[in-house]
Structure 1
């Protein structure tokens, strides 16, 4: 674990070209000092000409499925996919089986992440017992556990009871936690199959109205203001939601929000194919919504990219639309989709990209060693990206067990060439290398 790596000629955040020395798990030197540093003498040299160096990405919204749903994904396969996608940390959602609603389950997920060694795995604790929306889960016990949970969500199900949501927001203030809400009023979406609009009317599918999302967000930002607590809104999908979040931020309400890569690119027009790969929660929306989401991400109204990586067994997707599961994979395509929709359109720079995929998500999840700047002495969670690369998405060649990528067959820009997790290269030349193995001292604090 003491191997040094001298990265030659990388473009730091796409702004300046410099050498970068990684040694002892940290960034030891940058620029002219890198080659002259004592640790550079025996370092492995990596030619990074034409590559962009960025801080390792952090996902606030990943479904790793384990425990209990290993037919869809495991911590091992999901974190391999994350490393290949440029991630050095992921937050694992609570809707496993058993649900991550106790200290024991979140510690199990955390331990599986350490054993896998591809990225940091930070469990997200359930807000309510069994995701049933009736009784608060063991929030304090999960926060005090070895997993040090700081984000709580019933994702997949909305915490629709306003009294329960208020109590949850009040409870997590004691340990600086955050409630991540899946904004979906269930009574407005009963039987819904896709976005409510022109396409749903033509296809004869039950519509999922934008107001089902927007009404919950409006309620919850007011609750967060009332109790002075942190609220995070998962997978924002409508232009109306953007306006509510913008209004809340202007009032000083402590709210953050995420958008998925697929909601930045895809629209409900794709549902005309009846291909279940496009069935997702929240549903794909309209072109107007897509442009509103892009603008909101660019101006900071939406804080972060969250993949909502949701792998499913093939039999849950290779069926008729009405019976198909909702969800899409996203860890291995996120960087490319964001490059296509935000960077190549001129809406964002690579420095902006680092903010929404690394710095801000690490801050939301309270991960002190992630999302750090590329500076001397900082933890070496670093990725090297080839922005000129072009590749065609083939789900069968991905590390994730899920084959339900909505980008299958599409050509996308940008490719991760290397991922350094705590100074160790988990990915080299675009392929999995070896996992990071913690020492005895490290395991006592992880």
Structure 2
């Protein structure tokens, strides 16, 4: 990471932590040499104190958020995003750890290439970045990568995200190889033979707009296959961006049968349905697509009943020119790093659907635990000073002019939200501080 390694002592005064449910309690933190060395309701300022005092102004201090699913586009498409801008966007959203997907050019599909990416992520990123490697060479075909070599080089997990594995035998062999090195397989489930050129959910909105639809079986057919293979191999199988009630039914049944399956949901699938698409606006085009309102409600219920394990943004930046092409031609995906917490806090915590404790768990401790990320996503004395501060009291619109990401492709521009990030700290160093208090 580019933040300074110099030892800095910081005393955070007048903060609040979540103490369960929606309850907040006063908290102050002393940070030394990149670690939290004291947490208490009040920490007196020593007479000889020579460090920095940061007044949190009674904002929420939380563990640094953890996002298992982002696209940094670097190398290969740096006009959309870079490691620097993508990690800055994450920091602006309160994330201190992100998992970077491998749909890059060149792809991190060899130990040598993964080593290059790990080094670049470390030196060019301002937050912790775990790097995914591909399942197959160049994220294509059926030639498996060197799982043992990649694991030894320091891989987060294995994924061909952006593409489904089309051959059952390839996925079966990949699962066996990942199981042997104790790493998850993170699956983008999509049967290409069922796509038929679809660009949004097959339903009333697609018919209204005269656009080809994507059936839910595009996802569920491959998911059902993979769950059977996961049961046979014993691998940790993680399903990316679930979006339909049918997927949750399959996952719920597999969990009950003892399959080691976990899954994530993206904020946009919790917040929007296809009926919310206003017209041929590709800022509403993502893969999987926005599904029905009943599917959206199923995603909310799936989090609450534990079928869905965590929330991940699927931050997918594209250029404005690309998104202006409309649904037929524009690429799939929207940005999400900078808006996730505020949107979810406003739409679900303030309305009483989620508690603040639940939301923070799904965005920090739970994703860290899923991928065995030790000391990530927690605020503990002796642990790393990776944390975020959020302003829960003031509402302001989401403004693209303030984005750190190169991508502006979001359907949420202009939405009034509370929970804007005030500051983000990684290893005891501020990597984001809001310049102006938003009122």
Q: Shared topology, TM-score over 0.5?
A: yes
Q: In the alignment, which residue of structure 2 is the partner of 1:29? A: 38
- The structure 2 residue matched to 1:371, chosen from 367, 373, 377, is 377
SS at match of 1:388: coil
Distance of 1:180 and 1:215 partners within structure 2: 17
Distance of 2:183 and 2:196 partners within structure 1: 31
Q: In the alignment, which residue of structure 2 is the partner of 1:50? A: 58
Contact 1:110/1:123 (<8 A) preserved: yes
Quickly say closer, same or farther: Cα 1:410–1:76, change in 2 above 3 A: same
Q: Deviations over 1:215-274 (max 9, x none)?
A: 222221221111111000000001111122122222221111011111111111233411
Aligned ranges 1:251-330 → 2 under 5 Å = 251-330=257-336
Contact 2:35/2:385 (<8 A) preserved: yes
User: Could you tell me how far 1:117 is from its partner in structure 2?
Assistant: 4.2
Contact 1:89/1:121 (<8 A) preserved: yes
User: Is 2:128 the counterpart of 1:136?
Assistant: no
**Structure 1: which 5+ residue stretches go unaligned?**
432-446
User: Could you tell me how far 1:34 is from its partner in structure 2?
Assistant: 3.1
Contact 1:21/1:27 (<8 A) preserved: yes
User: Could you tell me how far 1:20 is from its partner in structure 2?
Assistant: 1.5
Contact 2:209/2:280 (<8 A) preserved: no
Q: In the alignment, which residue of structure 2 is the partner of 1:204? A: 210
Q: In the alignment, which residue of structure 1 is the partner of 2:87? A: 79
User: Is 2:410 the counterpart of 1:405?
Assistant: yes
RMSD: 1.8
User: Is 2:201 the counterpart of 1:192?
Assistant: no
User: Could you tell me how far 1:349 is from its partner in structure 2?
Assistant: 2.2
Q: In the alignment, which residue of structure 2 is the partner of 1:113? A: 121
Distance of 2:384 and 2:46 partners within structure 1: 17
- The structure 2 residue matched to 1:125, chosen from 109, 133, 142, is 133
Contact 2:209/2:279 (<8 A) preserved: no
Distance of 2:28 and 2:326 partners within structure 1: 53
User: Could you tell me how far 1:397 is from its partner in structure 2?
Assistant: 2.5
User: Could you tell me how far 1:37 is from its partner in structure 2?
Assistant: 6.8
User: Is 2:185 the counterpart of 1:179?
Assistant: yes
Q: In the alignment, which residue of structure 2 is the partner of 1:20? A: 29
> Which deviates the most, 72-81 or 97-106?
97-106
Q: In the alignment, which residue of structure 2 is the partner of 1:444? A: none
Distance of 1:33 and 1:208 partners within structure 2: 55
User: Could you tell me how far 1:375 is from its partner in structure 2?
Assistant: 2.0
Contact 2:195/2:215 (<8 A) preserved: yes
- The structure 1 residue matched to 2:243, chosen from 211, 217, 237, is 237
Distance of 1:270 and 1:205 partners within structure 2: 16
- The structure 2 residue matched to 1:389, chosen from 376, 394, 397, is 394
- The structure 1 residue matched to 2:352, chosen from 346, 351, 372, is 346
Contact 1:150/1:176 (<8 A) preserved: no
Contact 1:19/1:35 (<8 A) preserved: no
SS at match of 1:10: strand
Distance of 1:330 and 1:213 partners within structure 2: 22
Q: In the alignment, which residue of structure 2 is the partner of 1:155? A: 161
> Which deviates the most, 44-53 or 293-302?
44-53
Distance of 1:166 and 1:383 partners within structure 2: 40
Normalised by the length of structure 1, the TM-score is: 0.91
Quickly say closer, same or farther: Cα 1:249–1:115, change in 2 above 3 A: same
User: Is 2:368 the counterpart of 1:362?
Assistant: yes
Contact 2:7/2:33 (<8 A) preserved: yes
Contact 1:6/1:35 (<8 A) preserved: no
Q: In the alignment, which residue of structure 2 is the partner of 1:420? A: 425
Distance of 1:416 and 1:227 partners within structure 2: 42
Distance of 2:225 and 2:35 partners within structure 1: 43
Normalised by the length of structure 2, the TM-score is: 0.93
User: Could you tell me how far 1:211 is from its partner in structure 2?
Assistant: 2.0
